[in-house]
Chains A and B, each alone.
Chain A
Amino acid sequence: MGSTSSTLSKIPNAEELSQETGFTSAHLARLFERFEALDKDKKGYLSPQDFEAIKELALNPICDRIIGAFFSSGQEMLDFSSFVRILAHFRPIDNNRPKEPNSPDPINSRINKLKFAFQLYDQDKDGKISRNELLQVLRAMLEKQVTEEQLESIADRTIQEADLDRDDAISFEEFRKSLEKVNIDHKMSIRFLR
């Protein structure tokens, strides 16, 4: 794209971001354009209201949690690099990346994707999904007519299945183990980020 280079120049530390997240410069340019388009007041950062303004997102049952994942630790301003870092979780896993022994996992590794999903459950950040937290998510995802009793029994069953150390909560390890057969890459990757 002709405008890629001009857009790229607007992005601070484009090189490092590209390195860290694995996005190509074309992707970064596009994401920056999107960032600017969302930032209607041209503040230079995004606030939760800007996210709310996306109407498709508003119709998502777990919209609030998704927004919360971007604005973790209570901050109200999201700059571009944080934006991109979080979005990097959703890149498809590159299978042919050489494994360097001492480097940290890339942001879009399977583990990190799972961690992202885990943190959506775990709002109080204690490293475990308590029964209550699970119930909240279930309520959000299920239609109104499911009764409280049914919800609770589903939640109980969920914990029972996954909870190996019997502490009535699901830790990250248990979470990961319960999903070992699932193709996370497929579920947690955005199609058009090729």
Chain B
Amino acid sequence: MGFLSSVKPVCIVLISFAVLALLSFGANAEDSPKPTTTKPPAKPTEHGPIYTAPPQPLPEPEKSYLPLFTLNYPRVQIPFEITLWVLLASFAKIGFHVYHKITIWVPETCLLISIGLIVGAIMHSVHEQPPAVLTSSVFFLYMLPPIVLDSAYFMPTQPFFENVGTVLWFSIVGTLWNSIGVGICLYGVCQIPALGVQDINLQENLLFASIISAVDPVAVLAVFEDVNINEQLYIVAFGESLFNDAVTVVLYNLFNHVAELPVVDAADVFLGVLRFFLVGLGGMLFGLVFGFVAAFTTRFTRKVREIEPLFIFMYSYLAYLLAELLSISSIMAIVTCALTMKYYVEENVSQRSCTTIRHVIKMLGTVSETLIFFFLGVVTITTDHEWNWGYILFTILFAQIWRGLGIVVLTQIINPFRTIPFNFKDQFGLSYGGLRGAITFALAYTLPNTIIRKKLFITATIAIIIFTVFIQGISIRPIIELMNVRKTNWKLGTINVEIHTRLMEHITAGVEDLCGQWSHHSLKDKFMRFNNRFIRKILIRDNRPESSIVALYKKLELQNAMEVLDTISGDISAAPSLISLHEEKASNKSSFKPKRTFLASDLTAMHEILSKNMYKIRERTMSYTNKHTLPNDSRAREILVRRHTSIRRSLRARSFQGSESARSQKYFSLPLGQSLDTGYATESIRLNADGDPALELHNRSVRPKPRPRSKQPRFSTTRARLDPLQELHSTVNMEDEVRAEESSHRPSRQSSSSSNSRSRAPLQRHSSLGTPSVGEDDPEGDEQQLESPPPAWTPEPPDRGSGGPRNPLLRRAQWKPQDK
């Protein structure tokens, strides 16, 4: 089987790597005091030429030959081991995707922990110690920031801010509820003499409870995605995980401090609460400040494009470290920093820097997370455990109960304030999906050593993590699918039903979006106005009004086209030529089609096509919150591009047919009869940092001015080739694909280039986008467009009586250069 043959080499590589790692650790001869490793040496290293021989009195000069091979392990030890571990964990990740079905049923975290367990077992059997990665400083300074930055940067801001109340409610109050509830119950349990844990006092129980209430629904988000959970739930779970971490850390520090006090009085509690607010809000403030500073800095980085991404990382890390310095919530700081910074920075930096930033953040976050879970597995085997059946089982039990109770109660309270209330299924998803993960693990390790039963706590923490990750993680998917059971099995439904129901779902989703969330709008509008008037002027270089939908379409089509090129990989024959398609369509239309009979196999094929290829409703949020991949906005792009090309097509049809048929294809986004001279509100859909098209309405004065560039795509030579007219018969370039798609939608398209070129004239509008810069680099493009729009852009009067459609959507066509 293909799968087996590909798994075997991967396994072999993994095992050999593990062995290699062990050998290298064993090779370390020094007892290193550094925090990353505590390997006892096994054999001494050879002395290389860098070591001077100890001075001896009057030695007989011995002839020592120049050594040809020397081994100097201590010198490279730390980076070497780090690299090995990272590589090992990454190989594990590759290995998982060998057999795709595994990752559907078993969350990746489970797999990582399993591999960690195996490696841990190997290490234990050779009596090696794993690297002490999980000591406080390494974890909190190096491993946690990338994860948090990753989550915060890819947070879809729109839905998040719409749900911010719920998110904060669940994370703050929910965590408090959980910690206190579980802590008190455990304290009660501790009083039972039979369990032998009577020496754990209330503070310690509370401390422990605060640790294990940090929920980390990484795995759950992946499940939610596939099972088509309510979008609201998705955002709430995502946001909760983020803020949960912050709250837990604050609570932990709070209880830690309290635990050390022999006596707790009211003043301490009050101070504790005060400190809680101070810490949280202080963190946010820090993050805001740093975010703005970062945005401001990028305003000036035009000449140093290569190091632009550096600023993002340095500023967010700086925010984190400074917050740690002042003992305020560093997680809040870095989250707020990322959220603020993202919006402005992505407007200022070049496209390439933007991509680089996203990729690097994703990479760092994934690596960090992988390593943590991996080490969880390793450490499980190698630590000394103190197992206490009663305490641990009760911990797990109470954690589950309190989380479930907490979610239910909190939902009841907050549901009246939500426009879309949570139903039972949502609540179940939220509570059952509360898996514990990285933060819990690290916090347990950093418990102060003054706690007597520290080992018990660590064991209990590991137990609950493994329980939730494995059992809940694996079982949540079938359970949700069970609850999601459709009333009618689609195999029995007709094609009709499938198509029409999907259409109706789209309609309803569209109308829902139309009605929008009724609250928060005024606040958001106010903020956006403030934003446009003041903040953008300061923070964004050459502040111009946001780019229009033209820029978006331009960028989209190019990206699309380039992707198509990638996938074709140079197979010329794959692309149908325009002419042949056109003829085919014509013949199809004219010929009489006898009634076909459909076989059952045809039907199943159809059902499959439909179920796989029909656009799902509102996919966009889901695509942003998959933790392990970059945001994928290809569906959204596809839809936008298609709308755009169909509008363009209908325009052309209208422009040289001018007949009723064009009318029937009328898309109501085109306002007819408006002349160039009337001011009207133009829309701009811009793919902002989230990838969400962010629509801004601007009131334009009569003559639209030369346009901003913000998301100006950097394409060089490919752009020239996208001219649809002249390249009709050229060799396959992306163009053919783009047009092939168009042509398949346009049965009536004339392939004459002349009429097409004429039809483009009315589409020429003001230079909404400026030139798509011919040069590869930004500076040239900017300067060019600032000076004067090149001739291709000059607005031309429409050459049709009724005035070509003035719709901003059509401006998209402009970027195709007139000059070939």
Contact = CB atoms under 8 A, between A and B. Distances in A.
A124 B664 contact: yes
A87 B695 contact: no
B499 A138 contact: yes
Interface string B241-271: 0000000000000000000000000000000
B82 to A, nearest CB: 43
B618 interface: yes
Nearest to A116: B507
Q: Mostly helix, strand, loop or mixed at chain B's interface? A: helix
Interface stretch (A9-17, A54-62, A97-105): A54-62
Interface stretch (B24-32, B89-97, B537-545, B606-614): B606-614
Nearest to A143: B613
Contacts of B501: 179, 182, 187
Interface string A162-192: 1000000000000100110111100111111
Interface in A10-31: 30-31
Given A143-B638, A178-B497, A87 B667 contact: no
A57 B419 CA distance: 18
B310 interface: no
Contacts of B809: 52
B306 interface: no
Interface in A123-142: 123-124, 137-142
B419 A157 contact: no
A37 B521 contact: yes
Contact of B516 (A34, A68, A191): A34
A67 B513 CA distance: 12
Nearest to B807: A49
Contacts of B503: 62, 117, 120-121, 137, 141
Most chain B Cβ neighbours within 10 Å, of A60, A187, A193: A60
Contact of B593 (A30, A57, A156, A184): A156
A188 B507 contact: yes
B671 A47 contact: yes
B500 A55 contact: no
B511 A142 contact: no
A94 interface: no
A62 B639 CA distance: 9
Nearest to B525: A37
B12 interface: no
A134 to B, nearest CB: 8
A160 B595 contact: yes
Interface residues of B, number: 76
A66 B741 contact: no
Interface in B764-818: 807, 809
A20 B705 CA distance: 47
Given A48-B668, A66-B510, A154-B495, A58 B606 contact: no
A5 interface: no
A79 interface: no
A58 B502 CA distance: 17
Interface string A71-91: 100101000000000010010
Given A60-B506, A66-B511, A179 B668 contact: no
A157 B598 contact: yes
B518 A146 contact: no
B247 to A, nearest CB: 29
B530 to A, nearest CB: 16
B414 to A, nearest CB: 15
Nearest to B698: A40
Contact of B683 (A52, A154, A188): A52
A54 B685 CA distance: 9
A145 interface: yes
A49 B666 CA distance: 14
A20 to B, nearest CB: 18
Interface in B481-511: 487-488, 494-497, 499-511
A57 B639 CA distance: 11
A190 B515 contact: yes
B745 interface: yes
Contact of A90 (B500, B511, B694): B511
Most chain B Cβ neighbours within 10 Å, of A31, A58, A76, A148: A58
Given A158-B496, A178-B496, A191-B512, 4 more contacts: A49-B682, A57-B510, A142-B614, A143-B614
A66 B507 contact: yes
B43 interface: no
